[in-house]
Amino acid sequence: MNIILTGTGSPLPDPHRGGPSTVITTASTTILVDAGRAVVMRLAACGIIPPFLSAVVLTHLHSDHICDLNDVVTTHWVMTPEPTDLHVYGPKGTAQVVEGLLSMLASDIRYRMSHHADLQEAPRVIVHELTPGEQFLVGDVSVLTGATNHRPVEPSLGYRFSAEGVSTVVAGDGVPCSELDELVRGADAYVQTVVREDLVRLVPRQRFIDILDYHSTVRQAAQTAQRGGVRTLVLTHFVPTPALGEYDEWRAQAADFDGVVVTGDDLTQVSVTPLP
């Protein structure tokens, strides 16, 4: 199983980082988790185009995690030779988001179907709204959902992906909670959004400081990984974003975790293999 950090940025625009998105791949399955800014460009950069996606999975419905879902839907549609379903999984409210997205694209869909004789159908987006504890299959990957604490954003979900003898948890945003502890227990890898509280508090603006209420600090993510016996902690969706490649201070704040800590720019890849 491979993890690809296709977007490690935050809602603040950054020319070097796409919005939040992560790809989980196995030999036969490719799952996109969240669809932040520039996601299709980042997918292309790692050799993946939307028709190759087995599914899209959403952790929650904050704009920075879904703002380029429309690009995924449109590109999947126009690049697929035959009508093909795009399965989108997410928390309650996902169907409303997709309905609105398709309404926004209605003119574009009409133009393209009028112009291209081989486009006989509008995009086929199949939405699956999930609750914590549900389990489903995408190709050869078993996916388990778990509640996360990103309040007042509710509901929000983390996902545990299991295949090929390993498991990876992608938790999205949120602070530590017992449900997250349960989801990550015994996982081989754990991907977590992180903030630097020390740096955030240097900005004298309450709207920015408020993000500390519902995002894990690096230390909190490290403690969650340590409690769960995780082998590899992958940090992403950095707030504020570090300079490219400069992560020593971020990793130093994960000292409570005695496993491997991965920090990465966009397109960083992590291979998750079974223990020998």
| Interatomic CA distance for residues 203 and 140, integer angstroms | 45
| Interatomic CA distance for residues 245 and 257, integer angstroms | 21
| Active centre residues (catalytic) | 64
Amino acid at 25: T
Order of all β-strands in the sheet with 141-147: 135-138, 141-147, 157-163, 166-170, 189-195, 232-239, 260-263
Selection from 132, 259, 252 nearest residue 190 by Cα? 259
- Which residues touch 33 (CB under 8 Å, ≥6 apart)? 21, 22, 23, 24, 56, 57, 58, 59, 159, 170, 172
Selection from 191, 188, 208, 189 nearest residue 148 by Cα? 191
